[in-house]
Amino acid sequence: MNFDIIEPVLATLLGFLAAFFAEPVKTTFLHKRKVQNLRKALYKEISSLVDSIQIYMDASTNEAINMKNFSISSFLMSDFEAYQFAMSEPLLFYELPESQYINRIYKHIQLFKSIEENCANSKAKKELSEKYIELIIMAFEEGKFDRRLLKKIIPNRRQVRINK
């Protein structure tokens, strides 16, 4: 029997089988990585929203600044790019266990912006801001969000409230 022919055929067959079984594993790992990156981007964007609202609230306590001339939209620099990407990739987004909570947060920010723009009273604007921040922190405290990722993203000054 001629082993010179069997050896390359066997190596080719084994290489084909290895590639055949490795491709689904690679695809699964890439998909999980995409979902994890989407989660991280959304968490960072939500954290940025909270920071922007906090800056707005701090400015509203300063008597020298007339907050009637400012809207929350001027403080919310984000175009919600992570959320828009998530909505363009619904199969990825709805794999996140916290997707419904994230949806609520973004729906509330849209509602918050529309109410705030029609409100002329700066005290009412500040109360709205405080309620929105409380809504986000309450969502974090319910444990529906990944606490390890939150600890990496959210600055230490706010972690005390979230880790209760």
Of the candidates 139, 159, 115, 130, the one whose C-alpha atom is nearest the C-alpha of residue 42 is 139
Residue 124 lies in a domain: yes
Q: Which domain holds residue 143?
A: 41-162
Residue 8 lies in a domain: no
Residue 56 lies in a domain: yes
Which pTM value belongs to this model? 0.73
Q: How far apart are the first and last CA of the chain?
A: 74
Does residue 163 carry a pLDDT above 60?
no
Does residue 143 carry a pLDDT above 70?
yes
pLDDT tens per residue, range 19-42: 888 888 888 999 999 999 999 999
Residue 151 lies in a domain: yes
Residue 116 lies in a domain: yes
**Which two structure tokens, joined as six digits, stand for 24?**
């689904």
Residue 58 lies in a domain: yes
Tokens 């600044």, located at residue: 65
What is the domain count for the chain? 1
